[in-house]
Structure 1
Amino acid sequence: MAVVEPKVVCCCLLLLTGAVSQGPRVDYRDPACAVRGSTLTILCSFTPQSVVEDGKRVLAEIVRVVWCQNHQICHLTTPSVYDSELRYARVNDPRYRYLGDKKGNCTLQITGVQRGDNATFRFRMEAKETKNHFTGRGVTVRVSDGAQMEVHSSTDGQFKRGEAVTLNCTTKCTFHQLEVTWLRDGHALKHTGPSLHLAALTAMDSGNYTCRLKNNVGSLSKAFSVLVEAEEEGSVQVSLIVGVVSAVLMLLCFVILVLVIIRQKNQSAVRGEAGPKYNQAEGAQQQVEDVTYAHIQFRASGSQARPVEVEDDSIIYISVVARG
């Protein structure tokens, strides 16, 4: 007869136990820190108790989800910040918004964080079977006034002319939907977002930058120095000279172009008025120049004909006399 060792039996029991039952679970991101007046999102996920239905192991169906504050089990009429079954909580506080479902997401969002939110929040899920109710261990929320605001740069601290840089106003606690006031050398800027973008840096952007939450002077950050090197005097003069010369050349070209256009218009006008007179004179002159008379005479002489040329101004007579 074979003898089964106790260790083997123990391992088999553990495997069977794990296959029969899968315990419920809730996971948070802990700890959570929020700035007063901001919006905080508590990321949360859960896994219901596994049960056997029709011979198959499935997850229990969740019929109620609850978020409560500073309570161990969030049971029954315990004051809650959110309850999917309003029979226990007639009105849910609108500052607490449930972003999850009844399948596995239990994320809770808190808007307008207050000092009273400095507490431990717990999530509870309830299934059809009472034995499958479960409350998680909870997540602790710490509320801050934002006194630890800091300014960080998107670059390594080298600020060159023409480049862009972004300054970020941050704190150890997360914050959203808050108005941030930016200051340069103590003077308020128009921008109110958590990030300040400076494009095409110039020497005018140099200064000490600070940020704070609006209406919260105590949250003012330490100064962050931005130093943009000014252009050298020689390069400035060269740039100025080049600019002046370019402007003068452009102006000169423009003047010449205008004069050429005016001259062409004047010539066209003169030709249009005196055109017919010039044409008649030129035609007459051409006829005079082209007139050539040839006169040939033959005499009854046996001598050879010889041409006789008679010139009279522009009229040419050619006479050929033949003598017999």
Structure 2
Amino acid sequence: MALLLPLIFLLKIQRVYSADNGWGVNYSSSSICALKGSTVIINCTYKYSTGHQIMKVFWTNTYVKADHEEFPDLSKDSKYSQRIQYLGDKHHDCTMRLTDVRQTDSHKYYFRFTTQIEKDKWLGRPGVTLDITDLQVESSGERVIEGHSVTLTCKSRCSLTDRSTFIWFKNTQSLSERTDRNNQLILQSVTRNDSGNYSCAVQGQNLTSPHQYLNVICKYKLNNLNPSF
């Protein structure tokens, strides 16, 4: 299968806002579901009182910290440093990009900024929950009789963006005519030729599901397996 460009998830659903006395962080979404290996962009803006100068901006996935210690900066963490990029600025934009997401990235993330005044700092709660998922193929039947129909569904643990386009493979070969925004592959009036290993992927993403074997049984063989007396 040819390598496909990484799929970038840009979610702008409900706004999540934490603010007090002119200070706050505004996240574009409270939760994001993304496929393993994809790139996630978390859109974010922040505000603070006039007269302050922003000194430090970063993202963290830690809410509880020890006394007199700063929250950990993910860009300094070896598990994130090569994959996280701050796309914002030191004014009002706090957008962040995380590439090649992994199952271990399933976490809650917060934006943090500090000013020239030691006591004037802000952690953007409640943060953004990132859930990383993979793909699975589910069949409406393990054994299908010739002439019957079968439905294969490309499933993930959480809901992906509505813009996802699903593609299907049989024995690792792309079924180009089966590319659709619907996550189901419906095979009508199947024959023995439809037997094989089926897998699915999302267009623009290099993650492919484990295969699901479809076994199409001819009517004659089925009668021999279930003789009547």
**TM-score, normalised with respect to structure 1:** 0.39
Shift of 1:23: 2.9
- The residue type equivalent to 1:189 in the other structure is S
Work out the percentage of aligned pairs sharing the same amino acid.
Answer: 27
1:211 correspondence with 2:205: no
1:188 correspondence with 2:173: yes
- The residue type equivalent to 1:211 in the other structure is C
CA–CA distance in 2 between the matches of 1:90 and 1:70? 12
Does the 8 A contact of 1:96 with 1:108 survive in 2? yes
CA–CA distance in 2 between the matches of 1:40 and 1:210? 24
Compared CA separation, residues 175 and 59, structure 1 to 2 (3 A): farther
CA–CA distance in 1 between the matches of 2:31 and 2:99? 18
**1:161-240 correspondence to structure 2 within 5 Å:** 172-174=159-161, 182-183=168-169, 188-189=173-174, 211-212=200-201, 214-217=207-210
1:79 correspondence with 2:68: no
Compared CA separation, residues 139 and 187, structure 1 to 2 (3 A): closer
- The residue type equivalent to 1:143 in the other structure is I
Using CA pairs under 8 Å that are at least 6 residues apart, name the structure with larger relative contact order, 1 or 2.
2
Tell me which structure has the larger Cα radius of gyration: 1
1:133 correspondence with 2:121: yes
User: 53, 75, 92: which one pairs with 1:61?
Assistant: 53
Query: 1:22 maps to what in 2?
Result: 21
The one-character-per-residue Cα deviations of 1:60-101 (angstroms, maximum 9, x if unpaired) are: 22110021113246984543213xxxxxx4876121111111
DSSP-derived class of the 2:21 partner: coil
Shift of 1:170: 8.8
Query: 2:90 maps to what in 1?
Result: 102
Compared CA separation, residues 22 and 116, structure 1 to 2 (3 A): same
Query: 2:135 maps to what in 1?
Result: 146
In structure 1, runs of 5+ residues without a counterpart are 1-20, 51-57, 83-88, 150-168, 198-205, 221-324
Compared CA separation, residues 187 and 115, structure 1 to 2 (3 A): closer
Shift of 1:104: 0.9
Q: Which structure is higher in helix share?
A: 1
Shift of 1:195: 5.5
CA–CA distance in 2 between the matches of 1:68 and 1:121? 6
- The residue type equivalent to 1:34 in the other structure is A
- The residue type equivalent to 1:46 in the other structure is Y
Alignment length, in residue pairs? 154
Does the 8 A contact of 1:181 with 1:188 survive in 2? no
Q: Which structure is higher in strand share?
A: 2
**TM-score, normalised with respect to structure 2:** 0.53
DSSP-derived class of the 2:135 partner: coil
Shift of 1:142: 1.2
Compared CA separation, residues 148 and 207, structure 1 to 2 (3 A): closer
